[in-house]
A and B are shown apart, each in its own frame.
Chain A
């Protein structure tokens, strides 16, 4: 076999092996499993009934859920304050719930984030946020003021 042909054959074998390795590695990612460290960009109204929005970033450290349907996570805000969160995932559908760290003089709330984990488990685009404020409102079915927001998530560490 001429040297050039032999080299091409070797290269083809190496490429085939790389493709095979990538294929074998894909199932874990293809599951869109929620894990690792994430950055979430959350946009919600700054107060009940306000049309002014605020956007903030949090880091989410997701603990493995093992065989459970639910898992825990730590949410750290830009001020370095860390609180807990609870999450569940069915297929791509993800829900993360946590209590906002309350700041003196500012309205406080509970957040429920819902979205779809995509891109092999690295991205949540166009997620929605339910905000339940601490202010009572008898005309709201939750009996408290509520708002809607949006979020995006990017995994920054596996």
Chain B
């Protein structure tokens, strides 16, 4: 075999092995993202919107969130000891690559006040860091929104402080 042919064949093999390795590595890192663990999530308004159009706000406290996974059951809880010892709003989550979604119920001790649910949508910036938006759907009618419910969205950043894949 000519020297140039050998060189080309070797280059093709090296390229194929490298491409295969990169693909496997990317696929592995995508599938390894998990919310399981404890996160401190900080939030801030988007475009200065401190409350919903109907004036309801959740404030912007740091949220201590714990996510767990048991097979297909993915659960979450927010530890709001700053509000009360037994204040533990519950939620669920799912993940697709580096994108995730979680849904929580709001904790509403006042039966006469408005309540609602939260949907968090976000992505992993790295294994232990996430960012995204939280949307509150309050059970207050508002015909100006597509769903017909008072809706407020703000942004968040989260850092894992415990647990996780490692």
Contacts and interface: CB of A to CB of B under 8 A. Distances in A.
B158 interface: no
Interface centre among A71, A82, A99, A111 (most CB of B within 10 A): A99
A142 B119 CA distance: 9
Main secondary structure of the interface of A (DSSP, over half): strand
Interface residues of A, number: 40
Interface residues of B, number: 42
A131 B89 CA distance: 21
Given A141-B152, A146-B146, A86 B115 contact: no
B128 interface: no
B122 to A, nearest CB: 11
Contact of B92 (A90, A97, A102, A114): A97
A43 interface: no
A88 interface: yes
Given A99-B93, A110-B103, A148 B147 contact: yes
A90 B147 contact: no
Given A97-B103, A143-B153, A146-B146, A85 B119 contact: no
A128 to B, nearest CB: 8
B145 interface: yes
Contact of A97 (B53, B91, B111, B153): B91
Interface string B116-145: 110101000000000001010101000001
Interface of A: 67-72, 74, 81-88, 90-91, 93, 95, 97-99, 101-102, 108, 110-112, 114, 130, 132, 134, 140-144, 146-148
